[in-house]
Structure 1
Amino acid sequence: MSKLYFTQDHEWIRVDGEIATVGITEYAQDQLGDMVFVGAPDIGSAMSAGDVAVVVESVKAASDVYSPIDGEIVEVNEQLSSAPDLLNRSPETDGWLWKMKIANTAQLEGLMDAVGYKSHIA
């Protein structure tokens, strides 16, 4: 059973065992507008919480996407390089950005659940 968390910077993180899938929230993509480019981190690179992992560019602006926790990049969503609008159509499912092996599960305790995130964006 996966568990879903959110950051104050509008990333979501879905945890399945020791692997976390990361993306941006519906709210974030709505604020950014139509995506025209989505970068990808290098597989095998180590990330610390707060590191810039990806840059996404929309018709409005370029925006950094931060790693919510420490870990190692194990997979990137290759579909986004040719179809960046997938991030607009399905930001919290098919439009995921990267997967990482979690280095420190205790960091998850500092993130918000869905109720907390809804309060944060209200």
Structure 2
Amino acid sequence: MKYTEEHEWLDVDGDVVTVGITAHAAEQLGDVVFVELPDVDTEVSKDDEIVVIESVKAASDILAPLDGEIIEVNEALVEDPGKVNEDPEGDAWFFKMKVEDLSALDDYMDEAAYKDFIGG
């Protein structure tokens, strides 16, 4: 697992990266009431805004952590956005992307560094 400063987690399996938000981010957001996901087969560039999350506290975006193609989205979150609060680092992943250049992952934190980053 890798972590971004934007509180995203990245689970790497070959050239597929599953992306979600951390428990810390879900806690900061509060109750999530709306999720808008990208379309499958969309080509994205690092830092593109590709997911919109709205909670009772705020609206925020999830940025593409890498260049790649969206190959799957978690439609269950559209139907039940509250899943983000229930299991943010498990079943409540947002999208999976196929990535050609995995070396960009080297820029992200491992779990220990992320815990230090959030003061945990």
TM-score, normalised with respect to structure 1: 0.96
Q: Deviations over 1:27-58 (max 9, x none)?
A: 00000000000110011111111111101000
Alignment of 1:62-101 (within 5 A): 62-101=59-98
Q: Distance in 2 between matches of 1:71 and 1:117?
A: 24
Alignment of 1:8-27 (within 5 A): 8-27=5-24
Q: Distance in 1 between matches of 2:31 and 2:25?
A: 11
Q: Distance in 2 between matches of 1:31 and 1:61?
A: 9
Displacement after TM superposition at 1:103 (Å): 2.2
Identity over aligned residues, as a percent? Answer: 50
Q: Distance in 1 between matches of 2:45 and 2:101?
A: 10
Alignment of 1:105-116 (within 5 A): 105-116=102-113
AA partner of residue 11 (structure 2):
R
Q: Does 1:5 align with 2:2?
A: yes
Q: Deviations over 1:67-112 (max 9, x none)?
A: 1111100000010011000000000010000000012111000010
The unaligned stretches of length 5 or more in structure 2 are none
Q: Distance in 1 between matches of 2:8 and 2:75?
A: 19
Query: Does the Cα contact within 8 Å between 1:75 and 1:98 map onto a contact in 2?
Result: yes
In structure 2, the partner of 1:60 is 57
Q: Distance in 1 between matches of 2:106 and 2:7?
A: 16
The unaligned stretches of length 5 or more in structure 1 are none
TM-score, normalised with respect to structure 2: 0.97
Q: Distance in 1 between matches of 2:21 and 2:37?
A: 13
Q: How many residues align?
A: 119
Could you list the structure 1 runs, at least 4 aligned residues long, displaced by more than 4 angstroms after superposition.
none
In structure 2, the partner of 1:36 is 33
Secondary structure of 1:22 counterpart: strand
